[in-house]
Structures are given as C-alpha cells and as structure tokens.
Amino acid sequence: MTYKVEFIEEAIRSLAKLDREITRRIHRKLIWLAENAEKIEHAGLRGDLAGKMKLREGDYRVIYEVLQDEELNKVRFIGHRSEVYKRR
C-alpha cells in the first residue's frame, strides 16, 4: 500500500531553496518512503521534535509525521542536517 505525501507550507518553501539535484534526490527518497511506509521502521526524534520522524538523504533531512489512519506522510521541514534540528 502506498502512503500519500503531503507538504506543509514551510516544507515547500524549504525545498524551493535547495539545489535542483538535491531536490531531485529528496523527491526520489520521498517516493520510496511513500511506497515503503508500512514496511520500514521510522526514525523517531526526541525533545522538541518528539512525535516526528526523520528521513536522511545525504547531508539533508526530511522531518515528517506519519498519520497511519490517513495513510499519510506529512512533511514538515526539509533542510541541511546542521540547521534542521535547530529550527524547532
């Protein structure tokens, strides 16, 4: 079963700021996540980001939530690993 991927406005803005190749790689990774959401163990975060998950693509991270009832991955933020955890 394939989950849907939904972006909040902040995630759209952060993705638009990235290099085209990085954007392509993240897009492919999000497709993979949607297709495999039920099969994988999601990497949960702690502290201010508790309840959210991270997806790694090189030096970049996608912060998202899994809404199982809706079969939805809601992308909250995308950014370089040096900045993504400081935003919250």
Q: What tokens does 7 get?
A: 């972006």
Domains by residue range for the chain, with CATH: 4-84 (3.30.2310.20)
Residue 4: pLDDT above 70? yes
Give residue-wise pLDDT tens across range 11-70.
999 999 999 999 999 999 999 999 999 999 998 999 989 999 999 999 999 999 999 999
Tally helices (H) and strands (E) across the chain.
Answer: 3, 5
How many beta carbons lie within 10 A of that of residue 18, not counting itself? Answer: 16
The model's pTM = 0.90
Q: Using pLDDT thresholds of 50, 70 and 90, give the confidence band for residue 87.
A: low
Helix (H, G, I), strand (E, B) or coil at 46: coil
